[in-house]
Amino acid sequence: MRSTVRQDIRGSLPDGLGQAIRGTAEDIATLLRGVRDTAVPVPGSEWTIGEAAAHLALANELMADLASGRERPYGDGTPQSLAAANERSLAAFGERRAEPLATMITKQAEVFLDAMATAAEGAGGTADDPAPRTPLGPMDRGVLASYLLTHMLGHGYDLARALDRPHMIDRARVNLCMPFMLAVMPRVADPAATAGLTAHYTVRLREGEAFGVSLTDGTVRVTPGPPDRSDCTILIEPTAFLLIALGRRNPWRAIAQGQIVAWGRRPWLAPRFPALFTAP
């Protein structure tokens, strides 16, 4: 099945995205297999290892259903509604053992890829037909795949920290998260933080591509390249970018470690940038 899925989605997603989804799911499963005590708390979270793994298993199932065209209402996109939906789903799903959850995480990742292959076949080899509404709004299937990868990497990082093991985030996987990150940034902008602010940012991942973020009194526009006129350019190490965006890394710590450098006509805007958004 795996070789068939890989062949079917070739050309329908950015190069390596299908493999990254499969590889990340397997990396998470490897972390979990053999864990006996899943009641250990996850650092910086209210969840235990078992709850975080259960959430990942349920989320992968949700994403697979969305890729298949099934309607799955899940909050209204606000952090509060998503947190409430997460708690309801966990309360209704009692599995907390590591082995069954590891199997479910990888299985649902494969179901997702299988659904993507079926969609690509039906669309003449593309994955751009609209998918059903996701927890963060409508997305085409290519962005949805990037969403799945981003979500797994965030919680996979949490599990790795809880188990004192290396995480699975790297430059290549961060690059594959960017379609989702750019698509969702306007939606997760904090109205209180962006109100009254006019600024034009260039954000460049180290050894990667740049994108632009322009703010005009609460309106946020994201472009796949730098804005015509940039007030502040931020150069950031890719892993640090993803972890800060997902609320897992303190930006001041990243600055102190030399992972972020800023310059431009208004370089003082750089420390303000992460606070303009809430973690998706």
How high is the pLDDT of residue 4?
A: 41
Whether residues 46 and 151 fall in one domain: yes
Query: Does one domain contain both 269 and 134?
Result: no
Within this chain, do residues 123 and 237 fall inside the same structural domain, yes or no? no
59 & 135 share domain: yes
Quote the mean pLDDT of the chain.
91
Q: CATH number, domain at 248? A: 3.30.1050.10
Cα diameter, the chain = 55
Same domain, 165 and 201: no
User: Which domain, by its residues, includes 249?
Assistant: 189-276
- The pLDDT confidence band at residue 280, using thresholds 50, 70 and 90, is confident
What global pTM score does this model have?
Answer: 0.92
Tens-digit pLDDT profile for residues 107-149: 999 999 999 888 767 654 444 455 558 989 889 889 999 999 9
Q: Provide the domain count of the chain.
A: 2
179 in a structural domain = no
Q: Tens digits of per-residue pLDDT, 144-172?
A: 999 999 999 999 999 999 999 999 999 99
Structure tokens at 162: 């809880």
Q: Which two structure tokens, joined as six digits, stand for 139?
A: 């997305």
Query: Looking at the structure, do residues 88 and 146 belong to the same domain, yes or no?
Result: yes
Residue 182 belongs to a domain: no
229 and 110 fall within a common domain: no
Task: Report yes or no on 112 lying in a domain.
Answer: yes
